[in-house]
Chains A and B, each alone.
Chain A
């Protein structure tokens, strides 16, 4: 099940009748149906006009370096293994180090035991009280000719064990492992101690990460501690919540010929309270020390509920991203800065209809850009402006969902630079999903419409004969756009039988049902003379069986 938290507003999606068509049941691909996320089959999660590196991907509170396996079809999380919280903008001080948060939380206390097989992987899942484990063992043979992968297979595994020590104390051990054969892998075990009473919540967690890539090894030791105090009333305010927390991120990078450490520390505090029975305010401050570069980030939010079915929100704050991508970390760079302002409205009649709207503006400064000589510096800036609309409706056997986003996101490479679109600016995206279920049969259809992403239309290069390299002939960067993308996905689920608690279902998830082969991006030959279109997976059937207890 996926739970959405759109920063300002907590939106609980209705229990899905079935996975969204075209996603193959993948949790992160399912999340990418949300309007704040760029609609693309590229293996990236770009949110609210930002770049993928602006999105912080968390597993049980700790960062992961990538979201997808290199085939871009499967993410690191096996189906039904995680609950996802999506915070696209203006989130609270307890999160940081980026402009958007995708938080994966292991386990969801549901008893489940299932095995699922389809053309790309075998998934095994067991969920019992206090123990959850999922593993996906995949192979890229079915994608041969469709995706260029270095590894022949992939593995994802998530496990969680929760031990209740006393009525107030709990110990949670969890971990994630993902690999692409011998090409790359990442592993992150997490240990956390939780305390919960009526007045106090506390968590103390530590985690180790190992990331192995062809060009670098990374080891990280991270900690996180947070204390939350609740009070009924004080100083004329009610339902107070005071939060105090810290996190440390210590990373050791081992590049060929260059090994070094990087230490980041963050602390935060916030206080939230009801100003009136239906008005709640939160103010907070986060301070990060990114390897001796200090960033102070105030944030505030105001939530109002003029009607039991209507919630309004307004939030603003400062956000910083440390220069910790593998292509940045060896350079002397400052953190990128972003200032968010967002306003939202949620209508939920608690019965069959919800509509959520968020409008946002993000001002970005000190963006890392590469100059004409290939040197990185913090000379970039930009803005993102947009509106997201999400809606869901259920009536009897029918289910409908709509995701609509309008975005304008621009960049300037230096103070007097020409305006250009952001690399992942998607001015328009629309997803319309319909579902119907009756007895053993579930049907689903999804229409995707989306603007193409910008690309730079290189047309040749200058060959450096001494270096044996090619420098593309100059064209204005990102001055062309891939074709407008349209796609229909269909899904059928059928329950064959249910006996003695065992249930066998078959499914066919027909991705790109009419084989749209428009380019979603382009790749250039080594000399920039040829441009190869990267297309969506053409008519790929995720067909399989699922047996569950």
Chain B
């Protein structure tokens, strides 16, 4: 209750508060498991899109990964292999034990919540589904930029996956409706930066596009 009160009441001091759509800020933009659903014997690997305070976004590997609250013995599915972290699709027998523990019907994908450490350090959580196969949604196509005019407002639009959501971010200008498929990009001063859109399909799948933009 007190946190909600303080979110609605603030005094401006030296700097404006960072907004959720701002890219020029050390943060995890999205974590991707490729693929997000794996059948027994398949492998899923992680990467993450990170934003930085003084530089462009980067796609980075995971430093550490663990699934401490995994059902059954599925925590062993997460392991470091040579030079990266991956998840090995467990056998149907192990999945059946996990389904029993979680109360899931037979044949249902088992969600595995993986906690990740990334460069920074930054921390994230990603859910990978075990027991079936599914790929990430295709990356959206952006027709926005790279050259923009100062003082203009641009409409941004992508098709959100059914049951999914959209997140727009930028380090040049400001955004309105940044969690809607249709957003507005306001370029109020000259800048160089990026525009990012992240699509989530609501079932563990994620895709992103990074577009360089330049306004003068």
- B partners with A: yes
Chain A-chain B contacts (Cβ-Cβ < 8 Å), number: 99
Instruction: Give the distance to chain B from A510, nearest Cβ to Cβ, in Å.
Output: 18
> How many chain B residues touch A (Cβ–Cβ < 8 Å)?
38
Closest to A456 in B: B3
One digit per residue, 1 when the CB lies within 8 angstroms of any chain B CB and 0 when it does not, for chain A 428-457 equals 000000000000000000000000000000
Q: How far apart sit A468 and B126, CA to CA, in the bound complex (Å)?
A: 10
Question: Cβ of B31 and Cβ of A465 under 8 Å apart?
Answer: yes
Which residues of chain B from 9 to 55 have any CB-CB distance to chain A below 8 Å in the complex?
9-13, 15, 17-20, 25-28, 30-31, 48
One digit per residue, 1 when the CB lies within 8 angstroms of any chain B CB and 0 when it does not, for chain A 402-438 equals 0000000000000000000001100000000000000
Q: How far apart sit A534 and B10, CA to CA, in the bound complex (Å)?
A: 6
Instruction: Give the distance to chain B from A241, nearest Cβ to Cβ, in Å.
Output: 38
B185 to chain A: which residues have CB within 8 Å? none
Q: Is B99 an interface residue (CB 8 A)?
A: no
Question: Cβ of A534 and Cβ of B123 under 8 Å apart?
Answer: no
One digit per residue, 1 when the CB lies within 8 angstroms of any chain B CB and 0 when it does not, for chain A 529-541 equals 1101111010000
B179 to chain A: which residues have CB within 8 Å? 468
Q: Is A51 an interface residue (CB 8 A)?
A: yes
Instruction: Give the distance to chain A from B134, nearest Cβ to Cβ, in Å.
Output: 14
Which residues of chain B from 125 to 175 have any CB-CB distance to chain A below 8 Å in the complex?
125-127, 165, 167
B19 to chain A: which residues have CB within 8 Å? 526
A336 to chain B: which residues have CB within 8 Å? none
State which of A14-22, A119-127, A313-321, A517-525 sits at the interface with chain B: A517-525
The number of chain A residues touching the other chain, given as a range, is 35 or more
Q: Is B204 an interface residue (CB 8 A)?
A: yes
Closest to B33 in A: A465
Question: Cβ of B124 and Cβ of A468 under 8 Å apart?
Answer: no
Q: How far apart sit A5 and B5, CA to CA, in the bound complex (Å)?
A: 28
Q: How far apart sit A529 and B25, CA to CA, in the bound complex (Å)?
A: 10
Interface centre among B8, B10, B19 (most CB of A within 10 A): B10
Instruction: Give the distance to chain A from B99, nearest Cβ to Cβ, in Å.
Output: 20
B5 contact from A44, A471, A525, Cβ within 8 A: A44
Question: Cβ of B5 and Cβ of A468 under 8 Å apart?
Answer: no
Given contacts A327-B4, A527-B27, contact A462 B125 (CB under 8 A): yes
Q: Is B82 an interface residue (CB 8 A)?
A: no
A530 contact from B6, B18, B20, B127, Cβ within 8 A: B18
Given contacts A148-B11, A325-B1, A523-B6, contact A532 B127 (CB under 8 A): no
Interface centre among A44, A424, A462 (most CB of B within 10 A): A462
Question: Cβ of B127 and Cβ of A466 under 8 Å apart?
Answer: yes
Given contacts A148-B11, A535-B13, contact A465 B126 (CB under 8 A): yes
Question: A42-B9, A466-B125, A466-B204 given. 16 additional CB < 8 A pairs?
Answer: A43-B5, A43-B9, A72-B9, A147-B10, A148-B11, A463-B28, A463-B124, A465-B30, A465-B124, A465-B126, A466-B126, A468-B165, A468-B198, A523-B6, A523-B9, A523-B17
- Give me the interface of A with B, judged by CB distance under 8 Å: 42-44, 51-53, 70, 72, 145-148, 325, 327, 423-424, 460-466, 468, 471, 473, 517, 521-523, 525-527, 529-530, 532-535, 537
- Give me the interface of B with A, judged by CB distance under 8 Å: 1-2, 4-13, 15, 17-20, 25-28, 30-31, 48, 115, 122-127, 165, 167, 179, 198, 200, 204, 206
- The 15 sampled A-B contact pairs (Cβ below 8 Å) are A42-B9, A44-B5, A70-B8, A147-B10, A148-B12, A327-B4, A423-B1, A460-B123, A462-B125, A463-B31, A463-B125, A468-B200, A527-B27, A532-B13, A535-B13
